[in-house]
């Protein structure tokens, strides 16, 4: 027999987990994104010890059918895309079918889920990716997933975890962004019994921003709106005097997905011209809508980095719109052709 062998599914999942499940916040991100994709209007997130002890996400979405629930934990198993063509018109946050098997391979997972109209729901429990219980459960609306003892079998990863405070602030940050990208969903985040965030879920972005950054901050925002052939940009930016010491308060959302893109952040800052002090950054939440064909989300397993086909056109539109909006308020001189 040759010396090259295929890895077992469990080992392959653990290796993939290295990329997908970097830290507790990654688990929160993946579980909440699944809840969003399931069409939920209410998502409750409960964490203990910054997620290392327990992460529980409860949604009121479409649920998982009895005969699908074990498949959801198989590698590359997804209900979200079926063909190569689907890959070029992705409208869901997930599509790689990697998150659940990866998470399950490095933790203890319990799932309670039900689909409306079925006779009963199901309960599934896994330890390190191995199914240890699969039984019928009462009907409920949606899905509850509990992840416990994260990284119990990957000591190196556990060592790499920073302080609980850092991990918790990462969780807060990711939930903020997910909530900002979905003003129509009511989010609740509770850590060790303390409420960290609630949003109304009434579809109003400004109210969602108020829930996250505070009512006083939300009062000092300007609405932004722009449209050209390829893009629609809406959202809010802060007055130039309302700044923060980090870029963390800038959120760019493309087709409902919060993304990290240096060029877009820079375009926002450029729009302010010389109005920002060195080392100070605005608060901004921009929702960008475009044909999914123009954005490749299949660049990195976490899907936060994307490749944009018409990036120069989009950055120009953003800078110009922000600059004009601030000029309208008589806040900055005309940047003219310098943009
Ligand atoms: P992906 O999201 O890329 O499809 P995941 O591993 O995250 O892969 O999830 C696998 C599948 O499990 C999903 O395609 C979906 O069908 C199902 N699923 C996961 N979480 C939920 C949920 N909260 N509600 C309904 N279905 C879910
Ligand atoms: Mg997913």
- Tens of pLDDT, residue by residue over 276-315, are 988 999 999 999 999 999 998 877 877 788 899 999 999 9
Rounded distance from Cα 66 to ligand 1 centre (Å): 13
- Cβ of 96 less than 6 Å from ligand 1: yes
Cα-based angle 128, 297, 269 (whole degrees, multiple of 5): 115
Report the Cα–Cα distance between both ends of the chain, in Å, rounded.
64
pLDDT score recorded for residue 182: 97
ipTM greater than cut 0.85 = yes
Which ligand 1 atom lies nearest to the CA of residue 81? Answer: 4
Stretch 145-171: mean pLDDT, rounded?
Answer: 91
Looking only at the bridges linking them, the beta strands covering 42-48 and 54-59 are antiparallel
pLDDT the model gives residue 335 = 57
**Higher-confidence position of 307 and 16:** 307
Q: Is the separation of the CB atoms in 24 and 150 below 8 Å?
A: yes
Strand pairing report for 307-308 and 250-254 = unpaired
CATH says 9-198 is which class? Answer: alpha beta
Is the pLDDT reported for residue 88 higher than 70? yes
192-246 pLDDT, tens digit per residue, is 999 999 999 999 999 999 999 999 999 999 999 999 999 999 999 999 999 999 9
For residue 168, CA distances in Å to 25, 162, 165, 173, 181 come to 8, 10, 5, 9, 20
Whether 329 has a pLDDT exceeding 90, the answer reads no
Token pair 């330890």 is at which residue? 127
Of all protein residues, the one whose alpha carbon is nearest to atom 23 of ligand 1 is: 35
DSSP string spanning 195-244? EEEE---SS-HHHHHHHHH-HHHHHTEEEEEEE-SSEEEEEEEE-TTSEE
Nearest CA to ligand 1 atom 25: 63
Q: Is a pLDDT exceeding 60 seen at residue 157? A: yes
CA of 141 to the centre of ligand 1 (A): 16
- What local confidence, expressed as pLDDT, does residue 95 receive? 85
34 in contact with ligand 1, CB cutoff 6 A: yes
- CA 242/CA 174 separation, integer angstroms: 22
Distance 145 CA to ligand 1 centre (A): 11
Whole-angstrom Cα distance, residue 63 to residue 101?
A: 17
| Domain definitions of the chain by residue range | 9-198, 220-333
Query: How many whole angstroms separate alpha carbon 120 and alpha carbon 113?
Result: 9
C-alpha of residue 92 to centroid of ligand 1, in Å: 10
Please tell me if the CB atom of residue 62 comes closer than 6 angstroms to any atom of ligand 1.
yes
Q: What digits encode the pLDDT tens for the residues 47-58?
A: 999 999 999 999
Cβ–Cβ < 8 Å for 58, 110: no
- Which residue has its alpha carbon closest to ligand 1 atom 8? 97
Please provide the CATH number assigned to the domain covering 220-333: 3.30.230.10
- Going by C-alpha positions, the residue among 94, 93, 96, 102 that lies closest to residue 150 is 102
Least confident of 256-260, 285-289, 315-319: 256-260
Same CATH fold, 220-333 and 9-198? no
């Amino acid at each position: 027999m040759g010396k090259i062998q295929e890895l077992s599914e469990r080992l392959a999942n653990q290796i993939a987990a290295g990329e997908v499940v970097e830290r507790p916040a990654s688990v929160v991100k993946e579980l909440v994104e699944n809840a969003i994709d399931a069409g939920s209007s209410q998502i409750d997130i409960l964490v203990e010890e910054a997620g290392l002890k327990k992460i529980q996400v409860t949604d009121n979405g479409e649920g998982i059918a009895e005969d699908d629930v074990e498949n959801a934990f198989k590698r590359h198993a997804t209900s979200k895309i079926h063909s190569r063509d689907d890959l070029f018109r992705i409208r869901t946050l997930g599509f790689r079918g990697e998150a659940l098997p990866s998470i399950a391979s490095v933790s203890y997972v319990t799932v309670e889920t039900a689909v409306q109209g079925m006779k009963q729901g199901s309960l599934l429990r896994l330890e390190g990716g191995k199914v240890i219980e699969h039984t019928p459960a009462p009907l409920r609306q949606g899905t509850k997933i509990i992840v416990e003892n994260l990284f119990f079998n990957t000591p190196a990863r556990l060592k790499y975890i920073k302080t609980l405070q850092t991990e918790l602030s990462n969780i807060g940050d990711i939930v903020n962004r997910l909530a900002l990208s979905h003003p129509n969903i009511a989010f609740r985040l509770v850590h060790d019994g303390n409420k960290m965030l609630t949003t109304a879920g009434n579809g109003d972005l400004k109210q969602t921003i108020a829930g996250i950054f505070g009512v006083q901050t939300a009062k000092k925002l300007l609405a932004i709106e722009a449209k050209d052939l390829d893009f629609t940009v809406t959202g809010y930016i802060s007055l130039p005097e309302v700044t923060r010491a980090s870029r963390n308060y800038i959120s760019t959302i493309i087709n409902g997905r919060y993304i990290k893109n240096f060029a877009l952040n820079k375009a926002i800052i450029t729009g302010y011209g010389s109005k920002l002090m060195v080392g100070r950054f605005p608060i901004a939440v921009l929702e960008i809508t475009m044909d999914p064909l123009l954005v490749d989300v299949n660049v990195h397993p976490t899907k936060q980095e994307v490749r944009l086909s018409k990036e120069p056109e989009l950055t120009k539109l953003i800078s110009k719109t922000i600059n004009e909006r601030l000029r309208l308020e008589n806040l900055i001189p005309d940047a003219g052709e310098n943009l």
